[in-house]
């Protein structure tokens, strides 16, 4: 197991060093949202996206939330992102998210289809690090606000 993890890390580092341009971004975000029937929820999101030849990206987003009581949620969504035309792979963006939403309450799991829209701004800090404040709306959650931080490879 340790050998496999080391090999994967080594290959990722090699890809990052030898890539002519950065095409993959990985990030993590704390989030405040309304993924609960009662009160607000706190969550954490993980994101990975791949730059497209056009001014956009496709990716995967996973968000786990809790209202710190009985309700927990898990979202898994495919994302399609378009950036503002001024900058490539940074600047203002709009996302469309499609996936599944799992609602955990009283030892039952209820799945829902997920449709969401996200907007924000990706600010590159140096050549590899970025921050990204964002807001989102959708179904079955109502809204979410967060700030993602990550690396571009």
pLDDT at 124: 93
Which positions of the chain have pLDDT values less than 70?
A: 1-20
Whether the model pTM is above 0.85: no
CA distances from 101 to 12, 15, 44, 113, 144 (A): 30, 33, 14, 6, 14
User: Which domain does 106 fall in, by range?
Assistant: 22-152
Q: How many domains does the chain have?
A: 1
In a domain, 5, yes or no: no
- Tokens 């969504």 locate to 77
Query: Residue 76 belongs to a domain with what CATH number?
Result: 2.40.160.20
pLDDT on residue 9: 52
**In-domain check, residue 51:** yes
CA distance 125 to 122: 10
pLDDT of residue 90: 87
**pLDDT of the residue at 11:** 47
Please give the Cα distance from 130 to 72 (Å, whole number): 29
């Amino acid at each position: 197991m340790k050998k496999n993890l080391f090999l994967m890390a080594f290959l990722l580092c090699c890809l990052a060093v030898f890539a002519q341009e950065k095409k993959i971004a990985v990030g993590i975000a704390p989030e405040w949202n309304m993924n609960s029937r009662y009160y607000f929820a706190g969550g954490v999101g993980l994101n990975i996206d791949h730059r497209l030849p056009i001014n956009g990206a496709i990716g995967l987003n996973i968000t786990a939330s809790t209202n710190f009581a009985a309700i927990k949620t898990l979202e898994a969504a495919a994302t399609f992102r378009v950036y503002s035309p001024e900058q490539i792979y940074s600047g203002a963006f709009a996302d469309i998210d499609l996936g599944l939403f799992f609602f955990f309450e009283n030892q039952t799991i209820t799945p829902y289809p997920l449709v969401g829209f996200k907007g924000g701004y990706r600010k590159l800090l140096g050549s590899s690090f970025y921050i990204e404040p964002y807001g989102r709306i959708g179904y079955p959650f109502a809204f979410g606000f967060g700030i993602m931080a990550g690396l571009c490879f």
